[in-house]
A = this chain, B = another copy of it.
Amino acid sequence: MREPMAVTIKDVAKAAGVSVASVSRALNGHENVTDATRARIVDIASRLRYRPNDAARSLITRRTRTIGAILPALQGDFFSELIRGIDLAARTRGLHLLVSSSHADADETAAALRSMQGRVDGLLVMSPHVDPGLLDANLPDALPAVIMNARIGHSRHPTLAIDDHGGALAMTRHLFSVGHRRIAFIAGPTGNFAADERLRGYRDAFAAAGIEREAIVLAGDFSEQSGRTAGHAMADDPQRPDAVFAANDLMAIGCLLALAGRGFTIPTEIAIAGFDDVPAARYVTPALTTVRARIAELGRNAVACLAAEMEALGSSSSTPQVLPCELVVRASCGRSSR
C-alpha cells in the first residue's frame, strides 16, 4: 500500500504532449513559450492539480523562498508584535517563515543557526546576548542575515534596532522636566542589549544635567517580581527617591503594586515610569507612563532589509536603522511637561 503518487511535471508534459522543459518554462512564466502552448499547459496543470515539488526545485535553484527567524523567545507582548511584523512582511514577499526560539544559551543558538542552514535563503537573528562571532562561526558567509536589537556596526551583517537609549534618555528628561530630580532606575539583566541601552540612556540624561553622581541604580531582571523587590526596598529607604524609572513595564508594574501596597500615593508621593508600553500598562492604577517602540515595524523593516540582501547578493548595503521610540505620558508620573 504505497502512497498515491503525486502528479509530477512529467505527467503534465505527457498530458499536454510537450516536453517537461516546456512545462517548466510555461509555468515559470518564461518568455519563450507560445501563448497557445502556455495556455494549454497551464490548463492541464491546474486540471491535474499539479504542484511543483519544492524540494526538487530547491535542489536545482538553490533557493527555498523561505526565511528563518531565530529569536530568544516567542511569548510575551514584545515577541508577539515582532513576529507579527515579520510574518506580514514575509507573506507580502511570498516568503515562507521558519521560526526557532527559546534558546537558553549560546550553544543552543548556535545549533539553531546551523539547523536553519540550507532550509532558508536568509536569516533574521535576535539574541539578547548576541555575539557576532557566533554568527560568523555557525553560518556560511554567503547566507544573508540581518540582526535585530544589537549594537549597530558590531557585525558585518546589517543591524536594525529599537532606539532604547534614546527612549530612556527622553523619559529621564521628561521626568526632570516635570520636576523630579531624585530619580531611581531599576535596571534590567546586565548583558542584555536593550537593558544596557536603557540604563545608558538614563545615565546620559544625568550626565547631561551635570548630576551623574546622583544617579541611583537598583538591580532588576525584567521580571515583575524584581520590580516588587525594588519597590519594597524604596519603601524602606529613608532617602526615598521621588520618581522611579524601570527598564521595562513589568518591573514598573511590580514596583507600582509594591509601593501602592505599602500605602504610597502615586504619583504624588512617588512617580513611576516604565518602558515598552505593554497592554497592561494602561490597566494599572494609575495608568503607567512609559516608552513605546514600534516593534512590528522593526520586524517589518528587518524583513525588507533581509530581502534586499537576498536579492543583491554580496552588496551588503542599507544604512543601519534605529527606530525611534515615543513617550506615552499617563497618570503615573504627574502632569506632562507641555
Q: Which residues of A contact B (CB under 8 A)?
A: 1, 3-4, 6, 51-56, 58-59, 62, 64, 66, 73-77, 79-81, 83-84, 87-88, 91, 96-102, 114-115, 117-119, 140-142, 253, 278-280, 282-285, 313-314
Contact = CB atoms under 8 A, between A and B. Distances in A.
A101 B87 CA distance: 7
A53 B118 contact: yes
B75 A81 contact: yes
Contact of A87 (B76, B100, B253): B100
Contacts of A285: 284-285
**Copy total for this chain:** 2
A119 B83 contact: no
Contacts of A79: 80
A66 B102 contact: no
A99 B87 contact: yes
Contacts of A51: 114, 117-118
B66 A75 contact: no
Contacts of A140: 4, 6
A285 B140 CA distance: 53
Contacts of A115: 96
Contacts of A87: 74, 99-102
B64 A88 contact: no
B100 A96 contact: yes
A284 B253 CA distance: 11
A75 B80 contact: yes
B97 A100 contact: yes
A102 B91 contact: yes
Contact of A97 (B1, B98, B283, B284): B98
A105 to B, nearest CB: 14
A96 B79 CA distance: 19
Nearest to A112: B91
Given A3-B142, A59-B59, A142-B4, A80 B91 contact: no
A274 to B, nearest CB: 12
Contact of A283 (B1, B52, B117, B280): B280
A87 to B, nearest CB: 6
A288 to B, nearest CB: 9
A157 B47 CA distance: 26
Nearest to A4: B142
A81 B74 CA distance: 8
Nearest to A3: B142
Contacts of A75: 80-81, 83-84
Contacts of A283: 253, 280, 283-284
A76 B84 CA distance: 10
Nearest to A260: B285
Nearest to A60: B55
A292 to B, nearest CB: 15
Given A54-B119, A98-B96, A99-B99, A76 B66 contact: no
B118 A55 contact: yes
Nearest to A96: B98
Contacts of A6: 140
